[in-house]
A and B are shown apart, each in its own frame.
Chain A
C-alpha cells in the first residue's frame, strides 16, 4: 500500500509517502527522526508498518523543515535510516 500522509495548501504539496509493502517493521526511521514525526502502527490488514503520527499529519511542512535547509541539503535522516527504501518526501 502506498500511504500518503500530508496535505496540499496554498504554498505547495507536502506528502510523506510510505510504501508499506516494502516496510519490514524495524522501526529505525522512528528513532532516526529528530522531530518525532514517525511511529510504528499495526494497520488495518494487521501489518506492523511505519506511519506519520496523527499529531504531525497536518503540519509536516513545519515538522520536517529543520531537516530541509535551503542550501546543501543532506539526505534526510528518515530516508537514510530506512534500508528497504520505504519513505519518500514530495517536497
Chain B
C-alpha cells in the first residue's frame, strides 16, 4: 500500500508513577472531534493517562475505543471512573458520558492546566474548525470567536497538503523553513482552492518546500485575522493538532509579535483534559451536595 502521508501517530500515555492507584477520585474527559478523538483520565485533578486517535465513521465507537485505550495498561475499568464528560463536535455521541460541555469551555480549562494560570488567549486549531478564546486565571471563558464555516486554517487542510506533496505531516513544519526566501502566501484560504493553487505552483516548477511555506503562512495569516478580531492578550497558547506544526506556529508568532507558550503535555489533548477537569469539579460538587 502506498504511504499515507496525512496519517499522524495515534498513541496512548500513562503516568509512570501509576498515580491512579492512590487516587481518591478518578474522572475522565472524552473529546470527540471531527478528525481526532482523545480520552483523558485524571486522578484527583492530575493527568494520569490519555489516548489520542482518529475519529472513525462511528463516533460512539471512537469514543469507546479511545477510552478503552487510555485505560488499557492502567488496569482500571470504566466503572471505577466517577464522572465522565463528553466534549467536541461529537459530544452527544459519547454513550457513557454523564454530561456534555462545549469544546470552547473545555479548551480554555485544558489550556489553563497545560500552560498555567497566566494564559489569557487560547487558539484552538482543530481538525475542522478554529476557535479563538479569551479566558481568566481560572480558565473560565471571557470571550470566544469560532470559525467553523469552512475548513480553512485547520488540521484537515494540512492533511490535504501532506497528501498532495507526499510529505509526512510531522515534517511539514521543518520543511517549510527550508526555503531561500519566504514565498508569497497562497491567496485562497479555502482548502480546495488552495490545493488547486498549489498544484498550479508545482506545475510552474516551485519546489515542494516553497509550496508548503506558502500554505503555512496563508494559514497563519488566516488565524491571525481571527485572533485580531477577538483581541490578543498575553500569555498566549495554542491547542489542537496544529499547535505541533512549527511551520504555522512560528509564522503566527511572528505576525502577532508574541511567543506561544510551551505545553506540559501534547496540546492536542487539551479539550479532553479540560473536560476531565470539569468532571472533577462536578463530581466534587455532587459528593458534597
Residues of A within 8 A of B150 (CB): 9
Q: Is B146 close to A, CB under 8 A? A: yes
CA distance A76 to B229 in the complex (A): 23
A residues apposed to B, CB below 8 Å = 1-5, 7-9, 13, 15, 44-45, 57-58
Question: In angstroms, how far is the closest chain B Cβ from the Cβ of A25?
Answer: 18
B141 touches A15 (CB 8 A): no
Contact of A4 among B102, B144, B278 (CB under 8 A): B144
B143 touches A1 (CB 8 A): yes
CA distance A76 to B254 in the complex (A): 40
CA distance A87 to B74 in the complex (A): 49
7 A–B pairs (Cβ distance < 8 Å), ordered by A = A2-B144, A3-B144, A8-B225, A13-B229, A44-B278, A57-B148, A58-B149
Residues of B within 8 A of A3 (CB): 143-144
Residues of A within 8 A of B105 (CB): 44-45
Interface residues of B in 104-138 (CB under 8 A from A): 104-105, 134
Q: Is B145 close to A, CB under 8 A? A: yes
Contact of A15 among B102, B142, B145 (CB under 8 A): B145
Known: A4-B144, A8-B225, A8-B226. 18 other contacts (CB 8 A): A1-B142, A1-B144, A2-B142, A2-B144, A3-B144, A4-B143, A4-B229, A4-B230, A7-B147, A7-B148, A9-B149, A15-B229, A44-B105, A44-B141, A45-B105, A57-B148, A58-B148, A58-B149
Count class of interface residues, chain B: 20 to 34
B residues apposed to A, CB below 8 Å = 101-102, 104-105, 134, 140-150, 225-226, 229-230, 278
Known: A13-B229, A44-B102, A44-B105. A4 touches B146 (CB 8 A): yes
CA distance A28 to B142 in the complex (A): 24
Residues of B within 8 A of A4 (CB): 143-146, 229-230
Contact of A2 among B102, B140, B143, B278 (CB under 8 A): B143
Majority-rule SS of A interface residues: strand
B146 touches A45 (CB 8 A): no
- The chain B residue with its CB closest to the CB of A3 is B144
Question: 5 smallest A-B Cβ distances: which pairs?
Answer: A2-B143, A44-B105, A7-B149, A4-B145, A44-B101
CA distance A61 to B69 in the complex (A): 43
- The chain B residue with its CB closest to the CB of A21 is B142
- The chain A residue with its CB closest to the CB of B230 is A4
Residues of A within 8 A of B140 (CB): 1, 45
Residues of A within 8 A of B226 (CB): 8
Residues of B within 8 A of A1 (CB): 140-144
Residues of A within 8 A of B101 (CB): 44
CA distance A86 to B199 in the complex (A): 47
- The chain A residue with its CB closest to the CB of B141 is A1
Residues of A within 8 A of B143 (CB): 1-4
